[in-house]
Structures are given as C-alpha cells and as structure tokens.
Structure 1
Amino acid sequence: MRRPPSHFAYHGLHVAAAHAQAVQVNWARSLPRSDRLRIREHTCACTFPMFELCTAAGLWFVRRLTNEAPEVIVESAWMSARAARDLWLQIVTGQAW
C-alpha cells in the first residue's frame, strides 16, 4: 500500500492559458493592509506569473507575482470569500487574467 504524498510535495496548480474572451482583472499595487496574511492556495512557481489566493482581516483577495526585477506584486480588490474563490477559479481556468 502506497502512502499519500506529503503536503510538502504539493507544488501548486498550473494556470490555463487565457481564453480569447477572458476578463481582465483590475490589479492594483499590493499594500500592507494587515499584519497577518494567510495564503489559502497558490499556483506552481515553475511558471510566471504566479498567483496566490489570500485572506487577511476577514477579507479575501488574489495576488499576482511576477519574476521581473524587482519583483512586482499586485492584488485584486479585497472581497468576500465566495467572490474571491470565484475569481480564483476564473484565473486558474483561463477565464480571467
């Protein structure tokens, strides 16, 4: 019987290519609004841009990280958990970028 993989082995989702009719997310510069941040999900760091589904201060948002020098971090609007999860799904399936 095989053991399940360690949670450390999880490298993240791969984002699908943006569809022709994909909605553009209104990205804004990331500002320190809370002293605590929790990353709920993330995409694989082997390709950029990389995305993180985050929660802080009771609100949720998506961060977009690039490998440019210096690293650029932008984020979506802060919203409810349900709205952020919907946005996350749109991003990873190529329906939003």
Structure 2
Amino acid sequence: MPALLPLPSDDSCMGTHVPVPRSGYTPLRWDPEQPGARARVRAYTCDCQPTYYELCQAGGLLFIRRTRRSGREIQVDEGARLRQSEAMIMWTRLLEGLVR
C-alpha cells in the first residue's frame, strides 16, 4: 500500500496524495505536454498539492501527466507512453515515492 500524506485537518481533501520521494528514487523523463492531444484520465492524485499527477490513456497507450503550479504559472509535462502493464507499474511506483 502506498504511503500517503496526511489529509488536511479540515477533512476537505479526500484524494490520494503523492508521498515525499524515497531516498534513491528514480527520476522520470518528462516532456512538454502535447497540445491538442486528447487523453482520457484514468486515475489522479489530489490537486491540493502544488504538483499533482494524472494517469492518462490515449491511442491504446498510457502515460503519466504532471502538473506543476507556482504562483500564476502552470507547467504541464508528460511521461513516456507505455503499454498498460508497464504504465501501471510506473503509476504504482509514483504512489510509493519510488519515482518522480
């Protein structure tokens, strides 16, 4: 079971939170979002954090989308497109703090 960050004290946030990366985590390669590409979001982490993630599907392949907010700036990146079995392993590793 992935380690989750504690929920805010007001209990208004009920989503999955990505833990702090573990020591020796594997960095992922991120590319800029492909504008205009349609994707279906299959899973996501809570967007109450400055950085949140979505597991997306497009054209039979899955990928992780990362959204980072800093002030008024929003930057969206995408990971490699993978077959479902590979993508689910990567998503699980993200939720366990093993990749970032």
Q: Under TM normalisation by the shorter chain, which class is it?
A: 0.7 to 0.9
Indicate how the Cα distance of structure 1 residues 40 and 25 shifts in structure 2: closer, same or farther if over 3 A, else same: same
Question: Corresponding residue for 2:44?
Answer: 42
CA contact (8 A) 2:13 2:48 kept: no
Moved more, 86-95 or 65-74: 65-74
More strand per residue: 2
- Tell me how far 1:92 sits from its aligned partner: 1.1
Q: Which has the larger radius of gyration?
A: 1
Moved more, 43-52 or 66-75: 66-75
Q: TM-score, normalised by structure 1?
A: 0.82
Gaps of 5+ in 1: 1-8
Moved more, 46-55 or 25-34: 25-34
Question: Corresponding residue for 2:56?
Answer: 54
Q: TM-score, normalised by structure 2?
A: 0.80
What secondary structure does 1:67 align onto?
strand
Question: Corresponding residue for 2:90?
Answer: 87
What secondary structure does 2:53 align onto?
strand
Moved more, 10-19 or 74-83: 10-19
Aligned identity (percent) is 28
**How many positions carry a matched residue from both structures?**
88
CA distance in 1, matches of 2:36, 2:82: 14
CA distance in 1, matches of 2:58, 2:14: 23
CA distance in 2, matches of 1:33, 1:81: 22
- Tell me how far 1:37 sits from its aligned partner: 1.2
What RMSD over aligned residues (CA atoms) do the two structures have, in Å? Answer: 1.8
Structure 1 residue ranges (4+ consecutive) displaced by more than 6 angstroms after TM superposition:
none
- Tell me how far 1:41 sits from its aligned partner: 0.4
